[in-house]
Amino acid sequence: MERIYPHPFFAREGWPFMGFAFALALIVQIFVGGIVACLFWVLFIFVAQFFRDPAREMTRDPTAVVAPVDGRVIKIEETVCPYTGEQTKMVSIFMNVFNVHSQKTPVAGRIEKIEYFPGQFLNAALEKASELNERNAVTVLTPEGHRVCFVQIAGLVARRILCYKLVGDTVAKGERYGFIRFGSRVDVYLPVEASLCVSVGDKTTGVETVIANLPEQSAGAQQ
């Protein structure tokens, strides 16, 4: 196993929110106190836990596709990827407000395409959220020739999708590439030859959980 943790335990995206929640709780503690102050401290703890980004262990298996986020698998299907036009196996992972919301790359490779789409903020667990909600799709071509697309989808409360990579960037497996604030979903589109390792209802831990295995070489590369 390999340890991946080149970032703070509390994500930088959350520092302003945590600072505001802490200052608010402290002010209420000083001037009001009692149960009211306790409620504000609970609010601060909730905000802090949302923005945590703990170290994780990652497999060294080069064929493994790791979970990009913590959450629960809510859908698996064979479908045409709307961002690449290729026939794929899609794994959809839903995050609630208690999950870690930092996104990691499920595979290593070069970013071919990044597409952002403004949209609605429906419950991310709904099937139509994949088409109607605000989303950001990143397509990566692996060294073995596999094309993998992973899509950040905003949710009912999520109002900001963050992606820190650019087209042409080379990414490592498990590398931190983005963040979605306050509840959302990530869809991963895999080649049809991928062997899935998860089922609907399974819980995933970002980077630690292997959601699929890819062949050592793509079908196109073998021809």
Q: Decide: 190 and 177 in contact? Cβ < 8 Å.
A: no
Query: Over 87-104, what HEC string results?
Result: EEEEEEEEECCCCCCEEE
Indicate which residue of 102, 130, 184, 218 is catalytic.
Answer: 184
Q: Decide: 102 and 176 in contact? Cβ < 8 Å.
A: yes
Tokens representing 130? 């994949």
Residue 124: how many CA atoms within 13 Å on its side-chain side? 29
Q: Is 130 a catalytic residue?
A: no
Residue 66: how many CA atoms within 13 Å on its side-chain side? 29
Tokens representing 142? 């692996």
Q: Are strands 161-163 and 170-171 parallel, antiparallel or unpaired?
A: unpaired
Tokens representing 137? 């799709």
Residue 154: its H or E element = strand 147-154
C-alpha span between 76 and 3 (Å, rounded): 28
Residues with a catalytic annotation lie at 184
